[in-house]
């Protein structure tokens, strides 16, 4: 019997996925190329741009040199212009996201679990969802007045839908097998919810959060361009009005960095909350 | 040691009496099971084979309490207690091992294995130590904190089996647990299953389409007919344990051949029938 046991153990090691073996790790080490190749591409592109701008090969009216953009960015930071506007944007994105995504999550899970809830809510969703949410702004301004409330409301409505749809799909996509297993082991409704429904839908909920956050950011910038005198969106509009093209680019840089940070942060949150999913993604 | 027939009249671990089940489908009712009767003793290992679509899985789900039969009764005579669908007692604890992917991807191996205990309200500390002890026994201790997506299919199935054993239930129901594995992994896991079962003799009802597997594992093999499923024959497997497929292959193959003779026509019929 002893030889069988060792054969089994050896077998079990071979059963492990290749990603976890030494060879797999070596392949992973080559991943540092993932960092320096894009960095190199960035440096080369910026140098070419800078050179072209200095030699007058591109019109400075809409393509100022990167060095000028950097300078505009710096002065804008020093004067506090950027900070205050970034803060104004944040105070719309974050409350809007929370007020939209939390109800979206709750209703989405309810719709995922209950066919009757789905039957009632589905037509309403189907009717409202296709409207570009920014089109609701005038209506919301009539309801909430011209102020922060109407702006945050439109962001919240925009953030509501991706979360709702993902949460519902996340719950419905849980294999019926897992419910059967839990039922077979005598799971109470509460355990069914905390041990199957929540974790089973979590990956989709997290990608819903990501979509909602990006939509909230997008709509906030749009609202600020249309109807606000603070925020990154209004700063973009201002720099167009006074034709400060370097400032316009500087704000775009900040918006890009903001978006990247947002997505990295949410990616980190996902890896922390759903570690099993991270390994599944790596494999796929 | 084993008397032929008469199983139903002895105090059984499990007795199915004239179980029938009919599904409603879009094309009308489909009868999956037609008056199945058999018994299993408390520590017996019984395999069920039959052509595909003969209602094996339906039968297991009914015994597991996940599905109500259209007709017939099930009695459990465990610890001197008897359950029937009529007497209203809670369905006896059992653990069903599914063909694949029954292991929760969002729980670590240890949490998966301890799931049955968790559902019964066993405290975290005890749960953990019992899960670890079992994982140790089957050589999976090193993977206690891994998530199932990090494991191979074979290892995931071992986790599923470990979960069923750790749940500490007297009845184990297995639905083609090795059906999706390669031949060598399958042999290793059969050995492992038998080793654990020798130490912890539960009543096992094991569904498979692999005739040799049925003969290697079971004390008895129930051969079912094609749909609607009935018991065609009960075949005792008089091969002494421990059995090793390698050590005494001829006897196993002989019995498997005999079962195939019984099944061939049924299999051919379901082979050419619309699904």
* B101, closest residue in chain A (CA to CA): A177
The answer to whether residue A53 scores a pLDDT higher than 70 is yes
pLDDT in tens, A142-170: 999 888 999 999 999 999 999 999 999 99
SS3 call for B232: strand
SS3 call for B81: strand
| Cα A282 to Cα A28: distance, rounded to the nearest angstrom | 11
Residue A282 or B77, more confident: B77
Of the candidates A38, A72, A68, the one whose C-alpha atom is nearest the C-alpha of residue A50 is A68
SS3 call for B35: strand
A2 confidence band (pLDDT: 50, 70, 90): very low
Residues of A in contact with B115 (CB under 8 A): 181, 185, 195
pLDDT in tens, A207-261: 999 999 999 999 999 999 998 889 999 999 998 888 888 889 999 999 999 999 9
pLDDT in tens, B43-82: 899 999 988 777 888 999 888 888 888 888 888 876 566 6
Query: Quick check: A7 and B104 CB within 8 A?
Result: no
* B62, closest residue in chain A (CA to CA): A184
Residues of A in contact with B64 (CB under 8 A): 184
Residues of A in contact with B192 (CB under 8 A): 8
pLDDT for A284: 36
- Distance in angstroms between the alpha carbons of the first and the last residue of chain A: 38
Taking residue A45's Cβ as centre, other Cβ atoms within 10 Å add up to 11
> Which H/E stretch holds residue B204?
strand B203-207
pLDDT for A7: 41
Check if the beta carbon of residue B241 is closer than 8 Å to that of residue B209: no
The reply to whether omega before B228 is within 30° of 0 (cis) is: yes
Query: Quick check: A17 and B104 CB within 8 A?
Result: no
For chain B, the residues whose C-beta falls within 8 A of a C-beta of chain A are 64-66, 93-96, 98, 101-102, 104-107, 115-116, 118-120, 139-140, 147-152, 154-155, 158, 167, 184-185, 188, 191-192, 195
pTM: 0.79
Query: Closest approach of chain B CAs to the CA of A182, in angstroms?
Result: 8
Partner residue opposite A16 with nearest CB, options B98, B152, B167: B152
Residues of B in contact with A21 (CB under 8 A): none
Residues of A in contact with B107 (CB under 8 A): 195, 199
Q: Starting from the edge strand earliest in sequence, which strands make up the sheet with B45-49, in order?
A: B94-97, B171-175, B203-207, B45-49, B220-224, B231-236
pLDDT in tens, B192-212: 889 888 888 889 999 998 888
pLDDT for A46: 92
Partner residue opposite A187 with nearest CB, options B119, B184, B188: B119
Residues of B in contact with A7 (CB under 8 A): 188
Query: Quick check: B167 and A185 CB within 8 A?
Result: yes
**How much is the average pLDDT of A7-28?**
47
pLDDT for A194: 94
Of the candidates B273, B100, B274, the one whose C-alpha atom is nearest the C-alpha of residue B181 is B100
| Cα A95 to Cα B39: distance, rounded to the nearest angstrom | 63
Query: Closest approach of chain B CAs to the CA of A253, in angstroms?
Result: 38
pLDDT for B5: 38
Q: β-strand B220-224 against B94-97: which pairing, if any?
A: unpaired
Query: Quick check: A184 and B66 CB within 8 A?
Result: yes
Query: Quick check: B98 and A177 CB within 8 A?
Result: yes
A282 confidence band (pLDDT: 50, 70, 90): very low
Query: To the nearest whole percent, how much of chain A has pLDDT over 90?
Result: 60
Query: Quick check: A195 and B107 CB within 8 A?
Result: yes
Residues of A in contact with B98 (CB under 8 A): 177, 180-181
A276 confidence band (pLDDT: 50, 70, 90): confident
Query: Quick check: A15 and B185 CB within 8 A?
Result: yes
**How much is the average pLDDT of A15-23?**
48
Residues of A in contact with B116 (CB under 8 A): 185
Residues of B in contact with A18 (CB under 8 A): none
A27 confidence band (pLDDT: 50, 70, 90): low
Residue B262 or A171, more confident: A171
Partner residue opposite A15 with nearest CB, options B98, B155, B192: B155
Partner residue opposite B191 with nearest CB, options A4, A16, A276: A4
- B96, B104, B195: best to mutate for the A interface, most A CBs within 10 A: B104
Of the candidates B235, B244, B198, the one whose C-alpha atom is nearest the C-alpha of residue B49 is B235
pLDDT for A280: 52
Of the candidates B74, B76, B78, the one whose C-alpha atom is nearest the C-alpha of residue B36 is B74
Query: Closest approach of chain A CAs to the CA of B10, in angstroms?
Result: 28
| Cα A156 to Cα A140: distance, rounded to the nearest angstrom | 12
- Interface A–B counts its CB contacts (< 8 A) at 89
Stretches where chain B sits below pLDDT 70 are 1-12, 78-88, 101, 244-249, 270-275
The answer to whether residue A37 scores a pLDDT higher than 70 is yes
For chain A, the residues whose C-beta falls within 8 A of a C-beta of chain B are 1, 4-5, 7-9, 11-12, 15-17, 19-20, 175, 177-178, 180-188, 191, 195-196, 199-200, 202, 274-277, 279-280, 283
pLDDT for B145: 92
Query: Quick check: B119 and A185 CB within 8 A?
Result: yes
Least confident of A41-45, A127-131, B23-27, B262-266: B262-266
């Amino acid at each position: 019997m002893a030889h069988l046991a060792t054969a089994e153990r050896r077998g079990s090691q071979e059963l492990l996925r290749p990603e976890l073996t030494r060879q797999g790790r070596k392949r992973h080490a080559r991943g540092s190329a993932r960092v320096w190749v894009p960095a190199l591409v960035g440096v080369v592109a910026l140098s070419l741009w800078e050179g072209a701008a200095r030699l007058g090969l591109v019109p400075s009216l809409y393509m100022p040199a990167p060095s000028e953009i950097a300078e505009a960015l710096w002065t804008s930071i020093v004067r506090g212009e950027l900070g205050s506007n970034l803060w104004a944007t944040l105070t719309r994105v974050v409350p809007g996201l929370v007020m939209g995504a939390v109800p979206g999550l709750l209703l989405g899970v309810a719709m995922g679990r209950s066919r009757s809830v789905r039957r009632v809510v589905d037509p309403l969703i189907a009717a409202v969802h296709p409207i570009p949410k920014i089109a609701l702004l005038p209506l919301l301004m009539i309801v909430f007045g011209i102020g922060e409330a109407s702006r945050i409301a439109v962001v919240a409505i925009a953030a509501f839908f991706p979360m709702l749809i993902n949460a519902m799909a996340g719950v419905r996509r849980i294999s019926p097998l897992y419910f059967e297993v839990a039922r077979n082991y005598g799971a109470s409704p509460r355990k069914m919810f905390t041990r199957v429904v929540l974790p089973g839908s979590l990956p989709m909920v997290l990608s819903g959060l990501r979509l909602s956050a990006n939509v909230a950011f997008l709509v906030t910038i749009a609202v600020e361009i249309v109807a606000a005198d603070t925020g990154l969106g209004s700063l973009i509009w201002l720099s167009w009005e006074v034709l400060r093209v370097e400032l316009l680019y500087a704000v775009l840089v900040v918006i890009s960095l903001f978006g990247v940070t947002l997505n990295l942060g949410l990616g980190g949150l996902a890896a922390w909350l759903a570690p099993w999913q991270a390994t599944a993604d790596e494999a796929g | 040691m084993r008397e032929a027939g008469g199983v139903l009249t002895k105090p059984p671990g499990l007795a199915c009496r004239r179980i029938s089940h009919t599904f409603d489908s879009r094309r009308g009712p489909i009868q999956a099971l037609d008056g199945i009767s058999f018994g299993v003793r408390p520590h017996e290992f019984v395999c069920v084979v039959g052509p595909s679509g003969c209602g094996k899985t339906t039968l297991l789900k009914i015994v597991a309490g996940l599905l109500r039969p259209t007709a017939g009764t099930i009695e459990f005579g465990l610890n001197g207690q008897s359950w029937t669908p009529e007497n209203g007692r809670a369905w006896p604890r059992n653990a069903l091992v599914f063909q694949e992917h029954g292991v929760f991807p969002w729980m670590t191996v240890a949490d998966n294995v301890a799931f049955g205990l968790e559902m019964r309200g066993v405290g975290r500390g005890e749960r953990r130590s019992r899960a670890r002890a079992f994982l140790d026994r089957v050589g999976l201790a090193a993977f206690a904190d891994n998530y199932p997506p990090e494991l191979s299919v074979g290892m995931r199935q071992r986790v599923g089996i470990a979960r069923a054993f750790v749940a500490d239930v007297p009845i184990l129901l297995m639905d083609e647990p090795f059906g999706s594995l390669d031949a060598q992994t399958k042999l290793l896991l059969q050995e492992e299953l038998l080793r654990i079962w020798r130490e912890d003799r539960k009543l096992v009802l094991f569904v498979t389409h692999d005739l040799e597997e049925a003969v290697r594992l079971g004390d008895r093999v129930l051969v079912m007919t094609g749909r609607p499923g009935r018991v065609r024959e009960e075949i005792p497997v008089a091969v002494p344990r421990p059995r090793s497929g390698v050590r005494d292959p001829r006897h196993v193959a002989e019995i498997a051949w005999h079962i195939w003779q019984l099944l061939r026509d049924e299999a051919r019929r379901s082979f050419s029938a619309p699904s």
